[in-house]
Structure 1
Amino acid sequence: MNSVSIEAAIKVNWPQGHSSYSPGSPEELALLSIDLLVKALGAEAAHTFIAQILEKYPLGQKLAPASERA
């Protein structure tokens, strides 16, 4: 497994205030993204959106390392 690090400063403005995040890994970025998606669209719409993405990657499918997919 390749090691990937992310350098990002994410600022979210909500009617109730704002939030700041600094994910450091793809996993943290994914969790943050899903959380924001659910808060913005609701759980059902977020689930539908995520299901569309996951359709591209069937369970058990082996992907080539990112460096070989480019």
Structure 2
Amino acid sequence: MSTVSITADIKVLWPKGHSSYSPGSPEELALISIELLVKTMGTQGAQTFIAQVLERYQHEHKATQATEKE
């Protein structure tokens, strides 16, 4: 597993204010992204979208696991 560093300044404007985020890792970026999805699409919409993304990479992950076991 590799170490990844992220430098980002995310500003989100909402009708009732704004939010600012500065993720430093892929995990933090993912959490921020999920939070923004839920706020804009609702829980069900965000779950559907995330399921579609995970499905797209499902086969790639299985191939990586099979290679690592060999």
Q: TM-score range by the shorter chain?
A: 0.7 to 0.9
Q: Which has the higher helix share?
A: 2
1:47 pairs with 2:53? no
- Kindly, what percent of the aligned residue pairs are identical? 65
Give 1:56 shift.
Answer: 1.9
Structure 2 runs not aligned, ≥5 long:
66-70
1:37 pairs with 2:61? no
**Misfit runs of 4+, over 3 Å:** none
Question: Larger radius of gyration, structure 1 or 2?
Answer: 2
TM-score, length of structure 2 as denominator length: 0.82
TM-score, length of structure 1 as denominator length: 0.82
Which has the bigger relative contact order, CA under 8 A and spacing at least 6? Answer: 1
Aligned position for 1:7: 7
Paired AA for residue 31 in structure 1: L
Paired AA for residue 30 in structure 2: A
Aligned position for 1:66: none
